[in-house]
Amino acid sequence: MKPIIGIIPLVDEEKDSLWMLPGYMNGIEKAGGSPIMFPLTSDADDIKELLSNVQGVLFTGGHDVNPAIYNETPINQTVSFCKERDDMEAEVLKQVLEKDMPLLGICRGIQFINAYLGGSLYQDIPTQFPTKLNHHQSPPYDKPVHRVIIKEDSSLFGLLNKKSLEVNSYHHQAVKEPAPCFNIMAVAEDGLIEAVEIKDKTFAWALQWHPEFSFMSDEDSFKIFKEFVRHCERY
């Protein structure tokens, strides 16, 4: 049986709709999993029922994270968050960690997980962390635009067996202070944290770049999906 993997929905408030980028689902399918998009809910019992039917959860990109989660207020008008999604992800993450269920966070995923677990964020990289690296590329989004350095004591190094990786990049927020439970797996050449794992969890990875755009053309991006699905199979 293929593992079923729940995906946090993307939210379009103007259209009052939930939606999904195909790369998230296609990446999981190609790696051997069966993806399903969750409804938007923060009800603890509903989430418990949802999680009882899946073997892993993918935390997707999308809205900014409410700065109130890490005890700040928005610094400018670029910060745009969705309370319903923050509330949902807080409950999903709480239960996923309690169950030691495999999880993968991408873009907003690393940011939300970090904030929820006690870290903080750069709310707007151009304002708070000026850098020459391109962290907000133009299409096509599957093309790499900068390099990350992989820590040799990380699970990511164990998977890829390489000290650096060329990645795509499309974000304006990033991890500032990492959560205490994180092991940092990779950093950009300007020092921004690009990948983390949660200590003492079977598989809890989060990335700042976007393997859902590049898994078809980049072997390392596909290996990340495969590793996630492999742990979901074992759950």
pLDDT value, residue 230 = 98
User: Looking at 135, 146, 171, 210, which residue is catalytic?
Assistant: 210
Q: Which fold has domain 4-234?
A: Rossmann fold (3.40.50)
Q: Give the pairing type, strands 34-37 and 4-7.
A: parallel
Question: What gap in Å lies between CA 43 and CA 46, rounded to an integer?
Answer: 5
107 is catalytic: yes
In angstroms and rounded to an integer, the radius of gyration of the C-alpha atoms of the chain is: 16
Structure tokens at 130: 């000026």
For the chain, domain boundaries = 4-234
231 is catalytic: no
User: Looking at 82, 107, 181, 232, which residue is catalytic?
Assistant: 107
User: Looking at 89, 194, 197, 212, which residue is catalytic?
Assistant: 212
pLDDT value, residue 174 = 98
pLDDT value, residue 139 = 97
Cβ contacts of 30 within 8 Å, gap of 6 or more: 215, 216, 222, 225
Whether 176 contacts 75, CB under 8 Å: no
Q: Give the pairing type, strands 17-19 and 10-12.
A: antiparallel
181 is catalytic: no
pLDDT value, residue 224 = 98
pTM as predicted: 0.98
pLDDT value, residue 163 = 98
Residue 56: C-alpha distances to residues 9, 21, 85, 221, 222 (Å): 15, 18, 18, 18, 17
Q: Does a cis peptide bond (omega within 30 degrees of 0) precede residue 39?
A: no
Question: What gap in Å lies between CA 22 and CA 126, rounded to an integer?
Answer: 29
Q: Give the pairing type, strands 4-7 and 193-198.
A: unpaired
User: What value, to the nearest 5°, has the Cα angle with vertex 47 and ends 42 and 52?
Assistant: 170
In which residue ranges of the chain is pLDDT below 70?
none
Helix (H, G, I), strand (E, B) or coil at 183: strand
Whether 40 contacts 11, CB under 8 Å: yes
For 150-207, write each residue's pLDDT tens digit: 999 999 999 999 999 999 999 999 999 999 999 999 999 999 999 999 999 999 999 9
